[in-house]
Amino acid sequence: MNKKIWFGSSLVLLGAVLMGLAFFQDGFPGQIYWNNGPVYLSERDEKGEVDLTPDQIVSGKQDLTGLDLSVKNADVTVRSGEHFAISVDRAEKNYVTVSSNDGLVKVTGDERFGWSWGINQPTPHHITITLPEKTTLQSLSLASLNGDLTVKNSRSDQLKIKNTNGDVNLSDVKVATSGGVTNRYGDIFVKKSTLPKLKTYSRYGDINVTNAYQNVTADQAVFSLTNLSGDISLT
């Protein structure tokens, strides 16, 4: 066998062995994306989560009274569970700040949206917040630039949600006094929820409100659902 061919075949074989070892350790190659600088995540990292729950709440030094969240490029889910918790995927860890003052927890995401490259399709970054069951917050405020906002099984006196590019999903949500939901480029879905007297408006979308909700005139409403280019559905 020609020495050059033999040498080239050896390099190919060595590369295959190293690729196999890398796959065995980290799975398929993950994403290389830009988030205020180049970041590489293996498949294992993409699936991992980091706990950012503030110690003041976990230790019991402060009672949870409210949640104020503002992010740029992430899907957000607020749900109920056994105890309060905030978890983010590993890509979000260095770009999310969590603080607590007198029971009001603030979550701020400074994500930088940009290109991504890799074998697998990139998945949206995700932030998950778990609220203790049967807890009623004084205020629940969520704001996002790019991403879906989902709230499940929550109780609050006041609810304020503002989204720009993404859907808003509310399921089994109870709001006692006031608030509102605004969106620009996405739909608003509300299911099996209890809301105060409300008004709805969509400039370029359909509106469907069942008799389970008090859809009143603007001067009587204390809760509003407003959309620029998307549907509003309350069922």
pLDDT tens per residue, range 142-184: 999 999 999 999 999 999 999 999 999 999 999 999 999 999 9
- Token pair, residue 188, equals 């608003």
pLDDT on residue 110: 81
Share of the chain above pLDDT 90, in %: 63
Say if residue 122 is in the same domain as residue 224.
yes
Residues 96 and 32 in one domain: no
Instruction: Please check whether residues 154 and 189 belong to one and the same domain.
Output: yes
Is the confidence at residue 21, as pLDDT, over 90? no
Q: Are residues 173 and 110 in the same domain?
A: yes
Report the range of poorest mean pLDDT among 5-9, 46-50, 118-122.
Answer: 118-122
Band (115; pLDDT cuts 50, 70, 90): very low
Does one domain contain both 141 and 224? yes
pLDDT at residue 9 tops 80? no
Same-domain pairing of 16 and 120: no
Q: Tell me the residue range of the domain where 30 lies.
A: 3-39
> What's the pLDDT band for 112 if we cut at 50, 70, 90?
low
Average pLDDT over residues 127-154: 96
Residue-wise pLDDT tens digits, 58-88: 888 899 999 999 999 899 999 999 999 999 9
Q: What angle do CA 181, 149, 52 make, to 5 degrees?
A: 125
Higher pLDDT, 18 or 103: 103
Q: Is the confidence at residue 232, as pLDDT, over 80?
A: yes
Residues 87, 128: one domain?
yes
Residue range 182-202: average pLDDT?
A: 98
**Domain contains 140:** yes
Per the domain annotation, does 99 fall within a domain? yes
Q: How many domains does the structure of the chain reveal? A: 2
Q: Is residue 97 domain-shared with residue 124, that is, in the same domain?
A: yes
Please indicate, yes or no, whether residues 71 and 144 belong to a single structural domain of this protein. Answer: yes
Examine the domain organization and report whether 16 and 96 are in the same domain. Answer: no
Give me the pLDDT at residue 138, please: 98
Is 227:201 a contact under the CB 8 Å cutoff? Answer: yes
Residue 224 inside a domain? The answer is: yes
Token pair, residue 36, equals 């205020």
Average pLDDT over residues 103-119: 71
Question: CA distances (Å), 104 to each of 130, 161, 178, in order?
Answer: 15, 16, 18
Of 25-29, 77-81, 108-112, 193-197, the one with minimum mean pLDDT is: 25-29
Give the per-residue pLDDT at 53: 93
| Nearest-angstrom CA–CA distance, 56 and 92 | 22
Residue 44 lies in a domain: no
Looking at the fold, whether 95 and 122 belong to one and the same domain comes out as yes
Regarding whether 54 and 18 lie in a shared domain, the answer is no
111, part of any domain:
yes
d(CA 123, CA 74): 10
